[in-house]
């Protein structure tokens, strides 16, 4: 396939650049909103990362010596909350979803543009409330906020702010999800059936359905918790006859699906990144699409695997064990399909593909430890230990964050109209990969050998391994520098990007970089399927621009 | 050519299998096994980590091979040969994991019921797992169903209180200790009561963990086998000093245990039944524990489900 790459001069040649101040307005353009989400959430990633660095510094020594232990509890609570609710969830749904879905299905915008902007701007009060709680003593009962601790807590004000912040952010994500479902369902361009959609749209649809079914339950639990906390009611407070375990059920009914909300869109990103950079069609399109829906369905019935030690009856433990283990099947289908996509391809070993392959490699580790955790007797030993911390960081960091980076590099030219620097992209990848594994692989050993999580002090026998983790964490902190510098520099001064630098076949690459305010100047044209690589397109407008 | 590849692949797979089995036995990832349940656990864990290790090798191997073998040669701008699907391959990688996880589920269920020393609630009367229980030499597993409890010896039941940030273990004869002493070879039942927030009783060497829940009694049963001192670790976030909420568990021979208990009982009598024994953990002295305990009793306590 021959490719005509247009040559823009360096500098400000792109016709459709959005003026910078637009990003500070209540814009209803899905592309502006998408970038608002991506940039805002990345800032919170840096905040969450700084908290992680503090956590790891405290854990460099066995004693609780960097700060008082109650502060430490605040640090990991805020770290977890920021990472989940202000980084991964809004970035993979609000960020990538908003930017990409309309472009991928040939729509001019989302179904409800006003609602969309509203959802984004709700993040602002939600985040302000959460960050503000640092000034009154932040919530310190973990991101799970189990009662009765969260009711008896000394950080009363911080806990209340935490609850209201989550209620606001949760509402925001419900609004965004409504938008995705309606948009994907009813705004596909003529001629695009459900099975002609790029897989990212399938993944976003599945994630949005999970948000809609589960987030209201979290909201209910949090509202009741706030009554207990502020009004002295006894929904979850055992001294008045309440049941703390009911809270756990409600919480995990949301929070396990939330894990899939954080990973399904990233599955979608990886399914988009692999084919153009491997120059091959995605392997097993339908299987991947169906497996997203299967994960969506199964994922709603596994929540109590977080409660194997909570005194749940045996039949419940068995039921949730079997359901949990079954999730491995659709997940495995995806992983194998991605591997088959790479197999026999012509891999362009640049940052997007490196991060996507890094994603597969690291996510599989999290998946394998996940299957072990799904086995109830295994979990009973390692529940609430560093084994679990290692596991979920392989999924959330090795999975979600690696996938987000793959997506950021892949769509950077489209979003900004400029190319990033490939050399620093590779440096970023190598540092992240090494730092990540140094930080999180040893945690599995810690947990198995006897170190519980959420502790500011630990048995001195674990010192060496903890120091390796801490070293890895510092390396991870350093690894974000090349990315940040590269992103900022390239966005401002990078080489102008052609419309389709990767010769990709999904619709977003048929418009200009960055896209026209209405996405396409004329009407979008559906010339090929999203993954029809290996055909001859020399006559197609995709290469003629 | 084709046969050569097939041969090579079989050799590699055989190596992976060997490596997995070896790793499953030599992972060295677990501390000593001090109880009967820990031995069962370690067998299951070894199997699962071995399988996981094999799958890890296969996936990473394929990825690394692909990155090297299939990288684009400079100047090659053509697409790769398209390959959209392969039904038999997809069936294999759907069916094999399904069978595998179902097998893991059944095996885990088996180990689970064996560790609990029960025929798991719903199966209590099917004798599905009866052989396992009969084979158990210490044979003291109580079943959940009341009618079955008569058949087996009573476990040694101890009342345990969890509070911010200490454990109290209660023995017959008014003995309350900050140390958990248990004899080998006898099934132990700990009945937990939490007096403030959630805690979790965890002894890594027993591979067992149980949350303690205010207002809801919970319990844990195990059979100690290996004498020695182990740490009781709180594994559920319970406040500022959660990380310091530890105690010592001493597994003793029945004779040593009896001697210890008698001594403690005498001490307790000498001190008017309110002596706290044992080396106390850093943050609490005997007076504090007594104070906490009376606060607990005054609050109505939750120790009314005694089995002893
Ligand atoms: C930037 C590098 C990161 C480092 C070094 C790091 C480190 C840690 C550590 C050491 C803990 C355990 C705290 C404890 O149990 O005492 C923790 C908890 C946690 N982390 Fe991270 N983490 C990082 C990134 C992330 C990311 C990207 C996520 C994505 C969602 C995340 C989510 C969480 C969650 C949910 C918890 C649990 C908090 C809790 O126990 O309530 N972390 N992290
Ligand atoms: Cu879960
Ligand atoms: Cu604790």
Q: In sequence order, what DSSP letters do the residues of A333-351 get, joined into one string?
A: HHHHHHHHHHTT--B--SH
B57 domain-assigned: no
Q: In what order do the strands lie in the sheet with B175-177?
A: B218-222, B188-194, B156-163, B166-171, B175-177, B276-277
Q: Which of A146, A346, A459 lies nearest to residue B76, judging by beta carbons?
A: A346
Give domain status of residue B64, yes or no: no
Lowest mean pLDDT of A145-149, A528-532, B191-195, B283-287, name the range: B283-287
Please give the Cα distance from A58 to A66 (Å, whole number): 5
Contacts for A518 with CB less than 8 Å, ≥ 6 apart: A108
pLDDT band at A17 (very low <50, low <70, confident <90, very high): confident
Instruction: Specify the number of domains making up chain B.
Output: 1
pLDDT score for B293? 54
The boundaries of the domain holding residue B220 are: 156-298
H/E/C letters for each residue in A192-221?
CCHHHCCHHHHHHHHHHHHHHHHHHHHHHH
| Nearest residue on chain B to A375, alpha-carbon basis | B108
* Rounded distance between C-alpha atoms, residue A229 and residue A153, angstroms: 9
Question: pLDDT digits over B249-283, tens only?
Answer: 999 999 999 999 999 988 888 765 444 544 433 34
Beta bridge partners of B222: B188
Determine the residue of A43, A80, A467 to mutate for testing ligand 1's pocket, defined as the one with the most ligand atoms within 8 A of the Cβ atom. A80
Proportion of chain A above pLDDT 90, given as a percent: 86
Q: What proportion of chain A, given as a percentage, has pLDDT over 70?
A: 95
Cβ–ligand 1 distance for A394 under 6 Å, the answer no
Q: Which residues of B touch A339 (CB under 8 A)?
A: 59, 62-63, 66
Q: What is the pLDDT of residues B231-251, one digit of tens each?
A: 999 999 999 999 999 999 999
CB contacts of A241 in chain B (<8 Å) are 215
SS3 of chain B: the string is CHHHHHHHHHHHHHHHHHHHHHHHHHCCCCCCCCEHHHHHHHHHHHHHHHHHHHHHHHHHHHHHHHHHHCECCCCCCCCCCCCCCCHHHHHHHHHHHHHHHHHHHHHHHHHHHHHHCCCCHHHCCCCCCHHHHHHCCCCCCCCCCHHHHCCCCCCEEEEEEEECCEEEEEECCCEEECEEEEECCCCEEEEEEECCCCEEEEEHHHCEEEEEECCECEEEEECECCCEEEEEEECCCCCCCHHHCEEEEEEECHHHHHHHHHHHHHHHHHCCCCCEECCCCCCCCHHHHHHHHHHHHHCCCCCCCCCC
- Looking at residue A323, what is its pLDDT? 92
Nearest residue to B48 via CA among A469, A400, A402, A387: A387
What is the DSSP annotation of A477-488? Answer: HHHHHHHHHHHH
Pairwise CA distance, residues B126 & B63, whole Å:
47
Please indicate, yes or no, if residue B186 is contained in any of the structural domains: yes
- C-beta A156 within 6 A of ligand 1: no
Q: Give me the mean pLDDT over the A44-70 stretch.
A: 94
Distance of CA A517 from the midpoint of ligand 3 (Å): 55
Check CB contact under 8 Å for A384 and B94: no
User: What structural domains and CATH numbers belong to chain A?
Assistant: 31-510 (1.20.210.10)
pLDDT of residue A10: 40
Q: Among B102, B101, B94, which residue's Cα sits nearest to residue A290?
A: B94
Contact assignment for B209 to A380 by CB distance below 8 Å: yes
pLDDT digits 0-9 by tens, B40-89: 999 999 999 999 999 999 999 999 999 999 999 988 888 888 888 889 99
Q: Please report whether residue B86 resides in a domain.
A: no
Residue B253 lies in a domain: yes
In a domain, B282, yes or no: yes
The CATH code of the domain that includes B172 is 2.60.40.420
Global ipTM: 0.92
Residue B91 lies in a domain: no
User: Could you tell me if residue B45 is inside a domain?
Assistant: no
């Amino acid at each position: 396939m021959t490719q005509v790459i247009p040559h823009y001069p360096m500098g400000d040649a792109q016709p459709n650049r959005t003026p910078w101040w637009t990003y500070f307005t209540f814009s209803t353009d899905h592309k502006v909103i998408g970038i608002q989400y991506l940039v805002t959430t990345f800032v919170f990633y840096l905040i969450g990362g700084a908290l992680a660095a503090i956590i790891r510094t405290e854990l460099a020594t066995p004693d609780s010596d960097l700060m008082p232990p109650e502060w430490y509890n605040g640090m990991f609570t805020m770290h977890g909350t920021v990472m989940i609710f202000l980084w991964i969830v809004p970035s993979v749904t609000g960020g990538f979803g908003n930017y990409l879905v309309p472009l991928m299905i040939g729509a001019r915008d989302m179904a409800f543009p006003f609602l969309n902007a509203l959802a984004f701007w709700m993040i602002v009060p939600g985040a302000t409330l959460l960050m503000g709680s640092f000034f009154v003593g932040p919530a310190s009962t973990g991101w799970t906020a189990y009662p009765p601790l969260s009711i008896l807590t000394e950080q009363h004000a911080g806990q209340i702010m935490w609850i209201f912040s989550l209620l606001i952010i949760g509402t925001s994500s419900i609004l965004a999800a409504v938008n995705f479902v309606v948009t994907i369902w009813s705004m596909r361009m003529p001629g695009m059936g459900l099975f002609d959609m790029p897989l990212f749209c399938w993944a976003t649809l599945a994630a949005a359905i999970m948000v809609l079914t589960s987030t209201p339950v979290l909201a209910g639990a949090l509202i009741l918790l706030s009554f207990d906390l502020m009004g002295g009611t006894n929904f979850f407070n055992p001294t008045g006859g309440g049941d703390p375990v009911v809270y756990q059920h409600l919480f995990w009914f949301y929070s396990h699906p939330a894990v899939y909300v954080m990973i399904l869109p990233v599955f979608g990103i990886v399914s988009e990144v692999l084919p153009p950079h491997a120059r091959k069609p995605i392997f097993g399109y339908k299987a991947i699409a169906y497996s997203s829906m299967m994960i969506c369905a199964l994922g709603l019935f596994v929540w109590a695997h977080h409660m194997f030690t909570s005194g749940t009856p045996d039949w419940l433990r068995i039921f949730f064990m079997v359901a949990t283990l079954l999730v491995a099947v659709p997940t495995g289908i995806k992983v194998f399909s991605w591997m088959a996509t790479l197999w026999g391809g012509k891999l362009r070993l640049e940052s997007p593909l490196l991060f996507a392959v890094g994603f597969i490699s690291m996510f599989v580790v999290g998946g394998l430890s996940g299957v072990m955790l799904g086995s109830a007797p295994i979990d009973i030993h390692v529940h609430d230990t560093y084994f679990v911390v290692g596991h979920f960081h392989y999924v959330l960091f090795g999975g979600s964050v690696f996938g987000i980076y793959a997506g950021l590099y892949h769509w950077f030219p489209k979003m900004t109209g400029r190319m990033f620097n490939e050399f620093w992209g590779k440096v970023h990848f190598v540092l992240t990969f090494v730092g990540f594994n140094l930080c999180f692989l040893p945690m599995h050993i810690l947990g198995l050998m006897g170190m519980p999580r959420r502790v500011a002090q630990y048995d001195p026998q674990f010192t060496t391994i903890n120091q390796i983790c801490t070293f890895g964490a510092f390396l991870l902190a350093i690894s974000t520098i090349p990315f940040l510098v590269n992103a900022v520099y390239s966005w401002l001064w990078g080489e102008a990007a052609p419309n389709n630098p990767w010769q990709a076949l999904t619709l977003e690459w048929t418009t200009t970089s960055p896209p026209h305010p209405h996405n396409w100047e004329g009407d979008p044209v559906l010339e090929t399927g999203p993954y029809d690589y290996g055909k001859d397109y020399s006559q197609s407008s995709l290469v003629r621009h | 050519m084709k046969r050569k590849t097939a041969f090579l692949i079989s050799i590699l797979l055989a190596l992976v299998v060997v490596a997995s089995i070896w790793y499953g036995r030599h992972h060295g990832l677990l501390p000593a096994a001090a109880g009967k349940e820990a031995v069962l656990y370690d067998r299951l864990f070894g199997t699962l980590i071995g399988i996981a290790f094999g799958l890890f090798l296969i996936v990473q191997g394929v990825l690394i091979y692909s990155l090297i073998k299939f990288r684009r040669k400079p100047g090659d701008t053509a697409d790769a040969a398209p390959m959209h699907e392969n039904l038999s391959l997809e069936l294999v990688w759907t069916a094999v994991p399904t069978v595998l996880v179902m097998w893991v589920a059944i095996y885990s269920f088996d180990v689970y019921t064996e560790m609990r020393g029960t025929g798991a609630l719903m199966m209590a009367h099917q004798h599905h797992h009866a052989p396992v229980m009969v084979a158990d030499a210490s044979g003291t597993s109580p079943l959940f169903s009341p009618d079955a409890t008569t058949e087996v010896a009573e476990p040694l039941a101890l009342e345990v209180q969890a509070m911010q940030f200490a454990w109290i273990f209660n023995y017959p004869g008014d003995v309350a200790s900050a140390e958990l002493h248990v004899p080998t070879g006898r099934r132990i039942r700990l009945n937990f009561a939490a007096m403030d927030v959630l805690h979790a009783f965890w002894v890594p060497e027993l591979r067992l963990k149980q949350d303690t829940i205010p207002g809801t009694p919970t319990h844990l049963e195990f059979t100690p086998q290996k004498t020695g001192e182990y740490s009781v670790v709180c594994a559920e976030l319970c406040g500022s000093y959660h990380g310091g909420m530890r105690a010592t568990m001493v597994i003793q021979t029945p004779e040593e245990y009896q001697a210890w208990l008698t001594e403690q009982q005498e001490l307790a009598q000498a001190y008017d039944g309110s002596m706290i024994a044992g080396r106390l953990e850093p943050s609490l002295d005997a007076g504090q524990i007594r104070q906490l305990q009376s606060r607990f009793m005054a609050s109505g306590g939750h120790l009314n489900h005694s089995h002893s």
